[in-house]
Chains A and B, each alone.
Chain A
Amino acid sequence: MAAELTSTKLNAENHLLLDQPLLRLPHELARRNFKSIQRFLEREREYILPALKETTEASLSSNQTTDQTLSALDTMISRMQGLKRKMESLHQEEKKIHAQSKKRIQHLDNLHQIPSLTDVKYDQWSRIRLDRLVVDHMLRSGYTESARQLAQARGIEDLVDLSVFVQCQRIAGSLRQGEAKEALQWCNENKAALKKSRYNLEFELRLQQYIELVRTGDKHKFVEAMAHAKRFLIPYFESHSAEIHRAAGLLAFSSDTKAEPYKSMYSPDRWSYLSDLFVRTHHELLSLPSRPLLHIALSAGLSALKTPSCHSAYTSSSSNSLSTATSVCPICSTELHELARNMPYAHHTKSYVESDPIVLPNGRIYGQQRLLKMGKKAGCVGTGKIKDPTTGELFEEGEMKKVYIM
Chain B
Amino acid sequence: MDHVQKEHERLFKKVKSAQSIKNVQATIDMLQSARDAIAADPSQESITLAKLQNNVQSSFDTINDNLKDTHSSLNKYSKALDKFFKDRPLPSTEHDAVSSQEQLINRAIAMHLLREGQFSVAATFHHEMAEKKGMDTDMDEVPSDEVQSQFATMYHILRELKEKNNLLPAIQWSRDHKEELEARGSNLEFELCRLQFVWLFYGEQHQRGSTPTGRQAALQYARREFQAFLPRYLREVQQLMGAMAFCPNLQDSPYRAIFNNASAWEDVAHSFTREFCSLLGLSADSPLYIAATAGAIALPTLLKLQTIMKAKRTEWTSENELPVEIPLPPEYLFHSIFVCPVSKEQTTDQNPPMMMPCGHVIAEESLKRLCKGSRFKCPYCPSESHPREARKVFL
Contacts and interface: CB of A to CB of B under 8 A. Distances in A.
Nearest to A312: B349
A220 interface: no
Interface stretch (B29-37, B163-171, B253-261): B29-37
Given A81-B28, A322-B184, A329-B283, A13 B121 contact: no
B327 A4 contact: yes
Interface of B: 1, 4-5, 8-9, 11-12, 15-16, 18, 20-21, 24-25, 27-28, 31-32, 34-35, 38-39, 42, 45-46, 49-50, 52-53, 56-57, 60, 63-64, 67, 70-71, 74, 77-78, 81, 85, 88, 90-91, 93, 95-99, 101-102, 104-109, 111-113, 118, 120-121, 124-125, 128-129, 132, 182-187, 231-233, 274-275, 277-300, 302-303, 318-339, 341, 344, 346-349, 355, 358-361, 380, 391-395
Interface string A66-90: 1001100110110011011001100
Contacts of B121: 146, 149-150, 153
Contacts of B341: 351, 406
A154 to B, nearest CB: 8
Given A301-B291, A308-B346, A387-B185, 12 more contacts: A15-B300, A16-B88, A98-B16, A133-B292, A134-B109, A299-B98, A304-B328, A328-B283, A330-B291, A333-B282, A339-B108, A364-B393
A265 to B, nearest CB: 27
Majority SS at the chain B contact face: helix
A321 B322 CA distance: 27
A250 B348 CA distance: 59
25 contacts: A17-B90, A31-B78, A34-B74, A49-B57, A56-B52, A95-B15, A129-B293, A149-B121, A289-B90, A295-B105, A298-B98, A301-B294, A302-B291, A304-B295, A304-B328, A323-B185, A328-B284, A328-B334, A333-B287, A344-B319, A347-B326, A351-B337, A365-B395, A389-B184, A406-B360
Nearest to A122: B293
A254 interface: no
Contact of B27 (A74, A80, A150): A80
B232 to A, nearest CB: 3
Contact of A324 (B185, B324, B337, B395): B185
B56 A52 contact: yes
B332 to A, nearest CB: 6
Interface residues of A, number: 156
B67 A37 contact: yes
Contact of A34 (B45, B70, B296, B325): B70
A294 B104 CA distance: 13
Given A83-B24, A403-B361, A301 B346 contact: no
B118 to A, nearest CB: 6
